């Protein structure tokens, strides 16, 4: 079933992605040490990874690092604990294997890990390595600060001396590269070979076919003209198309349902943008003003600058705007489109653009 809000697990529930799936399965079979899966939020990275690992018949854990506290090792251990307990639904092997780690308590409810000894995670990872597990770190760029550094050095250690494959996913691509330290010789993962895979939004044709098939799976009718509009407005982002499909199940595939999708999805997208702003409290208004200017059609450097200066009633230094745009691109809220000597900025997610327009 396509219209399901959870990440997909099975091949038959995943629309297309044949190429990406083939490549990922191949890399997993080869035990590639670090695989990076990148793409904007809701494009289907987690679904791709889950289906690929199930198809490869490999055991795996998926550690969700979204919003992790960058200063708390304890939070990191909790995230691993959750991932292990989720993996227990697929296989019981971890209960037996982890029972020998002193800090791990195994009960009929699952496992509890005490975080007091710093290297407990490394011991657990060694056990996972023995059992030929794959470790997926979802939204790994959220691990910053001391926790990020520690995690990167653990991955580097296994790369150099071990045989435990890591799949790293990230939706904030520039920040993902920061985590990987691709440009920083002092970063733990600098210089390691990364297999990269990009998951893109659906093309217009794919989006349309996805919706048509999704509706036919439900035995529901939907007019093509309406579906074309949905794909255009939601710009082929699978997660948003699924959101529309789910609402259409009760409300029908109509203009009103599309509006409802936009308004519910806007809240989610704005919430995520606000999370990003939380870490930039001092310049919050500036970030907002820049995004609003772009959402309202000011796409070139000088147009954005003029709008920002109007908003603040004073001149803004080029370096200030430059830093703001760079941070927004790094976090994948903006895309920088270079066409010869012309540079324009575009909001990556049509839903966030819609939310900021109002």
H or E element at residue 270:
helix 255-278
Query: Is 63 within 8 Å of 151 (Cβ atoms)?
Result: no
Q: With DSSP H G I counted as helix, E B as strand and the rest as coil, what are the percentages for the chain, rounded to 5?
A: 55, 15, 30
Q: CB of residue 116 vs ligand ADP: minimum separation in angstroms?
A: 32
Residue 41 binds ligand ADP (CB under 6 A): yes
| Cβ closest to ligand ADP, residue 46 vs residue 332 | 46
Query: Is 98 within 8 Å of 106 (Cβ atoms)?
Result: yes
| Cβ closest to ligand ADP, residue 17 vs residue 127 | 17
Q: CB of residue 285 vs ligand ADP: minimum separation in angstroms?
A: 29
| Cβ closest to ligand ADP, residue 39 vs residue 165 | 39
Give start and end residues of each alpha helix (H) in 181-237: 204-217, 224-234
One of 62, 242, 304, 334 touching ligand ADP (CB under 6 A): 242
| Cβ closest to ligand ADP, residue 46 vs residue 81 | 46
The residue at minimum Cβ distance from ligand ADP is 44
Mention every residue, 6+ apart, whose C-beta is less than 8 A from residue 39. 45, 171, 198, 199, 200
Q: CB of residue 17 vs ligand ADP: minimum separation in angstroms?
A: 5
Three-state DSSP class for residue 36: strand
Question: Locate tokens 């407990």: which residue?
Answer: 120
Q: CB of residue 283 vs ligand ADP: minimum separation in angstroms?
A: 27
One of 4, 9, 235, 335 touching ligand ADP (CB under 6 A): 4
One of 38, 42, 127, 201 touching ligand ADP (CB under 6 A): 42
Residue 14 binds ligand ADP (CB under 6 A): yes
| Long-range CB contacts (within 8 A, 24+) of 317-323 | 320/286, 321/290
One of 47, 172, 257, 266 touching ligand ADP (CB under 6 A): 47
| Long-range CB contacts (within 8 A, 24+) of 288-293 | 290/321, 290/324, 290/325, 290/328, 291/328, 291/333, 291/334, 291/347, 291/352, 291/356, 292/356, 292/357
Give the C-alpha separation, 207 to 232, whole Å. 9
One of 21, 34, 46, 154 touching ligand ADP (CB under 6 A): 46
Residue 287 binds ligand ADP (CB under 6 A): no
Q: CB of residue 109 vs ligand ADP: minimum separation in angstroms?
A: 27
Q: Using CB under 6 A, count the residues that bind ligand ADP.
A: 21
Q: CB of residue 356 vs ligand ADP: minimum separation in angstroms?
A: 20
- If phi > 0 it is left, if psi is from -120 to 50 it is alpha, else beta; for residue 39 that is left
| Cβ closest to ligand ADP, residue 43 vs residue 187 | 43
Query: Is 38 within 8 Å of 45 (Cβ atoms)?
Result: yes
One of 24, 43, 111, 151 touching ligand ADP (CB under 6 A): 43
| Cβ closest to ligand ADP, residue 44 vs residue 188 | 44
Q: CB of residue 275 vs ligand ADP: minimum separation in angstroms?
A: 15
Residue 211 binds ligand ADP (CB under 6 A): no
Q: CB of residue 27 vs ligand ADP: minimum separation in angstroms?
A: 18
Query: Is 68 within 8 Å of 76 (Cβ atoms)?
Result: yes
Residue 207 binds ligand ADP (CB under 6 A): no
H or E element at residue 269:
helix 255-278
Mention every residue, 6+ apart, whose C-beta is less than 8 A from residue 300. 342, 343, 344, 345
Q: Which of residues 20-39 bind ligand ADP (CB under 6 A)?
A: 39
∠ CA 299-278-271, nearest 5°, is 70
| Cβ closest to ligand ADP, residue 98 vs residue 197 | 197
Contact residues toward ligand ADP (CB under 6 A) are 2, 4-8, 14-17, 39, 41-47, 238-239, 242
């Amino acid at each position: 079933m396509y219209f399901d809000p959870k990440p997909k697990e099975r091949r038959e529930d995943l629309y297309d992605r044949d190429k990406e799936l083939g490549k990922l399965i191949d890399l997993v079979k080869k035990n590639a040490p670090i695989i990076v899966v990148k793409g904007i939020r809701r494009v289907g990275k987690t679904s791709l990874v889950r289906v690929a690992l199930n198809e490869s018949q490999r055991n795996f854990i998926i550690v969700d690092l979204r919003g992790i506290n960058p200063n708390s090792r304890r939070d990191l251990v909790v995230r691993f604990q959750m991932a292990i307990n989720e993996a227990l639904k697929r296989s019981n092997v971890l209960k037996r294997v982890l029972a020998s780690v002193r800090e791990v308590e195994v009960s009929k409810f699952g496992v509890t890990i005490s975080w007091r000894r710093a290297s407990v995670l490394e011991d657990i990872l060694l056990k996972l390595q023995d059992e030929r597990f794959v470790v997926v770190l979802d939204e790994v760029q959220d691990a910053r600060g001391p926790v990020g550094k520690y995690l990167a050095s653990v991955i580097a250690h296994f790369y150099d001396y071990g045989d435990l494959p890591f799949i790293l996913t990230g939706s904030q691509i520039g920040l993902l590269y920061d985590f990987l330290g691709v440009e920083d010789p002092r970063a733990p993962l600098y210089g390691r070979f990364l297999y990269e895979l990009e998951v893109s939004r659906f093309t217009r044709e794919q989006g349309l076919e996805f919706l048509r098939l999704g509706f036919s799976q439900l035995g529901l009718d939907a007019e093509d003209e309406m579906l074309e509009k949905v794909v255009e407005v939601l710009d082929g982002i699978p997660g948003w198309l699924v959101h529309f499909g789910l609402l259409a199940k009760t409300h029908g595939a109509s203009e009103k349902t599309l509006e409802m999708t936009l308004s519910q999805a806007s809240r989610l997208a704005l919430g995520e943008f606000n999370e990003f702003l939380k870490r930039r409290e001092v310049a919050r208004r500036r970030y907002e003003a820049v995004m609003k200017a772009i959402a309202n059609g000011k796409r070139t450097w000088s147009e954005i600058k003029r709008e920002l200066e109007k908003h603040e009633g004073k001149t803004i230094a080029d370096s200030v705007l430059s830093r703001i745009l760079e941070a927004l691109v790094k976090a994948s809220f903006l895309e920088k489109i270079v066409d010869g000597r012309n540079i324009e900025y575009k909001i990556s997610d049509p839903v966030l653009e819609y939310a900021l327009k109002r």
